[in-house]
């Protein structure tokens, strides 16, 4: 028997990982080595513990310890690639993750965790360019898929295959013995039974579904981090195609016109500065608070667009001669300098508006964002002077994460509450409804002020007596403040609907 269908001529199917090789190519080659069974075991243990302790609990100590455990497995896997930059990034990630046990404000905790994710991904991949940093974050979910062949070879490695069954048998036997003896001791001692209730999860169908989801999420995150630590993708190979250089006038004219626009805008700022409020009222019909509020968003967008213009011109402008390089540095330097004045103007506008109409989380956050854009402009200026800018994207990411950490350190909800209380003391105006919607982090700042009845606003949310796995510094401080109030929340008769006394 012969021909293409003959058994002797049949071609074996390509291995599963060959498809992945064709997808990821040289950006993320397969090492062709087996995975490490100890790392897989550690990931399974971390995911199992997280599934037991995390669900149905407020973010606190258990969440922080789980994040530490995931990070510990990843760091252990990549300890052979430790450098000063990675060590510094790891410390920054640790501090960002600690906000989950320090702050009760969910918005700042979520932002810090996202920043920790971005910084950690960049450290694992050594991303430096903008495309490399974006690819670093995208590589984390893709690592679950890319690592399948590597983890699959863990089970097929010669000596490791025989070691799995004794390990699994030992784990099952140990769990069974703990359950039996734990049930006996719990039925014999009431205090021990209470401790067991804290540790043992609720095993209803809905609970099992949620715990299974948490287990899969934590396991996937840990395995992805481990694979990226051992087999990092070459994300900086993903670059935009080099553009063709343009003629000098093609970039000088647009940049010159933008600079002229900046000059006219700065002239208007000087006119308002020296003309005063009366001049502003006569020429525009606006009060100063209305005038400064109008432009903050536009100035923020202008700052971002300027960074985009600088990046585009830097890519397209020719630098073949000394005169080309000098002209490029001068014009872009002037543009960045003007942008810094715009940043200062935007921040001042927001400050005046907050003094007039009150402080909010969003106003504080966008002010920090605008300040970070100013830092990015300074980094671009420094890169222009040094004639080396490869480090700018990573530096911008790290400084942004550090500024977000600084915002968390000052307790943003407490800061907003404190500034509104000070404004209330000066003007008698306060938005009680807004202050009552802040997190427990604001309670110490609001204590003793007649602006908000903290027993009514926060008592039901804070006095829930979290177990030790939910311990959180913000809620603990708030609970201590509320405990000092002599009248219990159940008998308080002063709770009335909060009324806003300030402009929305």
Distance, CA of 370 to CA of 377 (rounded, Å): 11
Is the pLDDT at 164 greater than 70, yes or no? no
Is the pLDDT at 130 greater than 60, yes or no? yes
Distance, CA of 140 to CA of 223 (rounded, Å): 9
Q: Give me the phi and psi of 431, to 5 degrees please.
A: -100, 90
SS3 499: coil
SS3 117: helix
269: number of Cβ within 10 Å: 14
Residue ranges covered by each domain of the chain: 21-237, 248-410, 413-491
Comparing 8-22, 334-348, 354-368, which segment has the lowest mean pLDDT?
8-22
Distance, CA of 130 to CA of 397 (rounded, Å): 10
Is the pLDDT at 370 greater than 60, yes or no? yes
pLDDT at 105: 93
Comparing 27-41, 79-93, 363-377, which segment has the lowest mean pLDDT?
27-41
Q: What is the pLDDT of residues 236-294, one digit of tens each?
A: 888 777 777 778 888 888 899 999 999 998 888 888 777 777 777 777 777 766 676 66
With b meaning 16 or more CB within 10 Å and e meaning fewer, what string describes 427-463? eebbbbbbbbebbbbbbbbbbebebbbbbbbbbeebb
pLDDT at 14: 45
Helices (H), 285-360: 288-316, 322-357
pLDDT at 133: 92
pLDDT at 94: 96
pLDDT at 387: 62
Comparing 23-37, 48-62, 196-210, which segment has the lowest mean pLDDT?
196-210
**Is residue 140 within 8 Å of residue 224, measured between CB atoms?**
yes
Is the pLDDT at 491 greater than 50, yes or no? no
List, in sequence order, every residue forming a beta bridge with 469; answer none if it has no partner: none
Distance, CA of 503 to CA of 481 (rounded, Å): 29
Q: What is the pLDDT of residues 45-74, one digit of tens each?
A: 899 889 888 888 889 999 999 999 999 999
**Is residue 469 within 8 Å of residue 61, measured between CB atoms?**
yes
pLDDT at 294: 67
Integer distance in angstroms from the first to the last C-alpha of the chain?
A: 86
List, in sequence order, every residue forming a beta bridge with 500; answer none if it has no partner: 431
Tokens of 439: 């997190």
Distance, CA of 138 to CA of 235 (rounded, Å): 10
pLDDT at 156: 66
The average pLDDT across 132-153 equals 89
Torsion angle in degrees (nearest 10) through CA of 236, 237, 240, 246: 90
């Amino acid at each position: 028997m012969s021909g293409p269908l003959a058994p002797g001529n049949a071609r074996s199917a390509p291995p599963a990982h060959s498809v992945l090789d064709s997808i990821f190519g040289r950006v993320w080659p397969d090492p062709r080595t087996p995975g490490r069974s100890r790392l897989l075991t550690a990931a399974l243990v971390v995911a199992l513990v997280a599934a037991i302790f995390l669900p149905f609990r407020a973010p606190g100590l258990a969440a922080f310890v789980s994040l530490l455990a995931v990070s510990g497995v990843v760091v252990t896997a990549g300890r052979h690639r430790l450098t000063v930059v990675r060590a510094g990034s790891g410390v920054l990630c640790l501090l960002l993750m600690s906000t989950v046990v320090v702050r009760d404000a969910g918005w700042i905790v979520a932002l810090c965790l996202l920043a920790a994710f971005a910084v950690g991904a960049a450290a694992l991949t050594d991303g430096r360019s903008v495309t490399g940093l974006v690819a670093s974050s995208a590589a984390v979910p893709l690592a679950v898929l890319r690592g399948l062949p590597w983890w699959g070879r863990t089970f097929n490695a010669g000596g490791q295959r025989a070691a799995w069954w004794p390990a699994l048998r030992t784990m099952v036997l140990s769990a069974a013995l703990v359950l039996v003896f734990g049930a006996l001791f719990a039925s014999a001692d009431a205090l021990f039974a209470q401790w067991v209730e804290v540790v043992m999860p609720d095993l209803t169908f809905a609970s099992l579904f949620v715990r299974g989801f948490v287990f899969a999420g934590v396991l996937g995150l840990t395995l992805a981090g481990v694979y990226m630590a051992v087999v990092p993708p070459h994300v900086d190979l993903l670059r935009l195609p080099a553009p063709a250089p343009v003629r000098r006038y093609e970039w000088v004219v647009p940049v010159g016109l933008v600079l002229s626009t900046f000059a006219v805008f700065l002239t208007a700022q000087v006119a308002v500065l020296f003309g005063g409020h009366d001049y502003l009222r006569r020429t525009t019909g606006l009060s100063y608070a209305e005038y400064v509020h109008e432009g903050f968003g536009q100035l923020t967008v202008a700052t971002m667009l300027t960074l985009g213009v600088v990046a585009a011109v830097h890519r397209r402008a020719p630098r073949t001669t000394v005169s080309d390089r000098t002209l490029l540095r001068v014009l872009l330097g002037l543009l960045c300098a003007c942008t810094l004045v715009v940043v200062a103007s935007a921040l001042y506008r927001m400050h005046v508006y907050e003094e007039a109409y009150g402080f909010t989380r969003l106003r504080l956050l966008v002010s920090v964002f605008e300040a970070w854009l100013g830092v990015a402009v300074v980094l671009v200026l420094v890169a222009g002077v040094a004639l080396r800018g490869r480090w700018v994207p990573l530096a911008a990411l790290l400084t942004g994460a550090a500024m977000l950490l600084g915002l968390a350190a000052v307790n943003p909800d407490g800061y907003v509450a404190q500034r509104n209380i000070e404004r209330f003391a000066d003007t008698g105006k306060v938005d009680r409804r807004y202050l009552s919607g802040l997190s427990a982090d604001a309670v110490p700042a609001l204590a003793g002020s007649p602006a908000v009845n903290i027993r009514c606003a926060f008592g039901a949310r804070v006095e829930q007596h979290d177990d030790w796995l939910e311990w959180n510094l913000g809620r603990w401080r708030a609970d201590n403040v509320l405990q000092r109030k002599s009248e219990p929340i159940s008998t308080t008769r002063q709770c009335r609907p909060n009324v806003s006394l300030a402009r929305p």
